[in-house]
Amino acid sequence: MRAVAVHRLRRLALDQLEMRLLDRIRLIGHEVGFGRGWRERAVRQRFCGALLRGLRTWRLVLLRLLTLRLFCRGGIDCGWALRVGPVHTLLASPRCCIRSLVAPSPEVRQGTPSAVLGNPRMTFVQRLGAAARLIDQRLSELLAECGPEKGERLAAAMHHAVLGGGKRFRPFLVVESAALFGMAPEAALDAAAAFECVHCYSLAHDDLPAMDDDDMRRGRPTVHKAFDEWTAILAGDALLTLAFEIVARPATHPAPATRAEIALVLAHSAGGRGMVLGQMLDLAAEKRGEPAVPSAEHIRRLQALKTGALLAASCEAGAVLAGAKSDERAILRRYGEWLGLAFQIADDLLDAEGDAAVVGKATGKDSTAGKATLVSLIGIAAARDELAKAVREAERILAPFGDQAATLVEAARFTASRGN
Ligand code: GRG
């Protein structure tokens, strides 16, 4: 009798605990920014399931919650957090846990790019991570194939600028935009890598003392800090040239006309009518005070050129690569423009409010430098509204593609919620 009563009491206490834990999970889910989409719901349910399965050993559950919270706060995807398991494992074998965090998933280790990215069970962040690993692998092959001889200082600086961090968002957009028109990821990887080379060159140059003067990028010393200024300049130059070499190679696309078209899209977005002009306007405002009072319109144009152009071109290039019709190509371009705007506003918000450890570079630089950004001109609340509008527009433009464009829709939402 007594044993039954004790058992019931214990069950009751566990039920109570379960309710409290569920509340807590909901709260944490809210804190780490789960949305309301079905994918997010599915992840949340997986969480709850995994947590509740461990309820009999409730201390373990509390520890898991703590792990989850720590990792999610650190910007790590929930799926990864689940793979790490309970904190006690972390304490018992930190190296094994850290390895499971950074090691490629079994799909990435075993599968072809199509198999890896075709897995419908992946969350968006896992998909972005899986694509990043594929792109990293292709980038290091291309650097070895087309870059300078191994062991040279220039090669080492190019590696430093490209490998070892970065979301690989532009190449992801190339791959996913091409996938929207039925192209397999492996067929889009080279063009995607070319876009990342241009992005990495721009970061290496932007970080130089003559430009934005940054010591840290992607959580590591910038190229000129790890090497020196002249090496960083030359590594950037070589990466820009390498991008066009990659695009020109038959491996990028069998049709010369398509390769030429991609080269055009990339050149327009990166050059004196695109990113370089945007950078020029930005530095002219900061260093020469031109114009004396920048308007919100001026800032929007500057950002569309500096940041938006390459993002929009990545989406357009994916469509070109996959042979999309001209109206479909135009849709992808417009989607990319809204996405670019969202990306830059989110970047300004991160600079204003972000944590340098999570962002991977110094924050608060814009206001310290007295730099006019959309956030400084219209305020945080209005910038958030504009960000939400940009994401809505990006989603609306993709409506003709229906569910086929789900990943690109999520990419637009991701730009708004990203932590780095
Ligand atoms: C030097 C010609 C020239 C241009 C530089 C890209 C750029 C133009 C400047 C970088 C300054 C900056 C912080 C711009 C805001 C948006 C941006 C490009 C952020 C960095 O891109 P992410 O977040 O970086 O995709 P990762 O590291 O993930 O690749």
- Whether 394 and 335 have beta carbons less than 8 Å apart is answered as yes
Is the CB of residue 166 below 6 angstroms from any atom belonging to ligand 1?
A: yes
Is the CB of residue 361 below 6 angstroms from any atom belonging to ligand 1?
A: no
Q: For residue range 124-180, what is the model confidence (pLDDT) as tens digits?
A: 999 999 999 999 999 999 999 988 876 689 999 999 999 988 999 999 999 999 999
Closest ligand 1 atom to residue 418 Cα is: 23
Return mean pLDDT, the chain: 80
Token readout for 3 is: 């044993």
Q: Mean per-residue pLDDT for 10-27?
A: 53
Q: Which of 99, 95, 166 is nearest to 136 (CA)?
A: 166
Q: Identify any residues that bridge with 201 across adjacent strands, giving them in sequence order.
A: none
* Fold of the domain spanning 106-417: Farnesyl Diphosphate Synthase (1.10.600)
Positions of E strands within 6-131 = none
Domain ranges of the chain: 2-102, 106-417
CA distances from 65 to 25, 52, 167, 382 (A): 8, 11, 26, 34
Q: For residue range 352-368, what is the model confidence (pLDDT) as tens digits?
A: 876 555 545 555 566 66
What pLDDT is stored for residue 419 in this prediction?
64
What pLDDT is stored for residue 149 in this prediction?
78
The alpha carbon of 203 and the centre of ligand 1 are apart by a number of angstroms equal to 5
The pLDDT of residue 16 is above 60: no
- The answer for residues whose C-beta is within 8 angstroms of residue 272's C-beta and 6 or more apart is none
The alpha carbon of 353 and the centre of ligand 1 are apart by a number of angstroms equal to 18
Q: Identify any residues that bridge with 220 across adjacent strands, giving them in sequence order.
A: 217
Q: How many CB atoms lie within 10 A of CB 286?
A: 17
Q: Mean per-residue pLDDT for 200-209?
A: 98
The pLDDT of residue 74 is above 70: no
Is the CB of residue 307 below 6 angstroms from any atom belonging to ligand 1?
A: yes
Q: For residue range 255-282, what is the model confidence (pLDDT) as tens digits?
A: 999 999 999 999 999 999 999 999 999 9
Is the CB of residue 222 below 6 angstroms from any atom belonging to ligand 1?
A: no
pLDDT band at 404 (very low <50, low <70, confident <90, very high): very high
Closest ligand 1 atom to residue 270 Cα is: 2
CA 96, CA 71: separation in Å to the nearest integer?
A: 16
Long-range Cβ pairs for the range 387-392 (8 Å, 24+): 387/342, 387/345, 387/346, 387/349, 387/416, 388/416, 390/338, 390/339, 390/341, 390/342, 390/345, 390/416, 391/338, 391/342, 391/415, 391/416
Closest ligand 1 atom to residue 236 Cα is: 1
CA distances from 384 to 32, 50, 347, 381 (A): 18, 34, 11, 5
Closest ligand 1 atom to residue 344 Cα is: 16
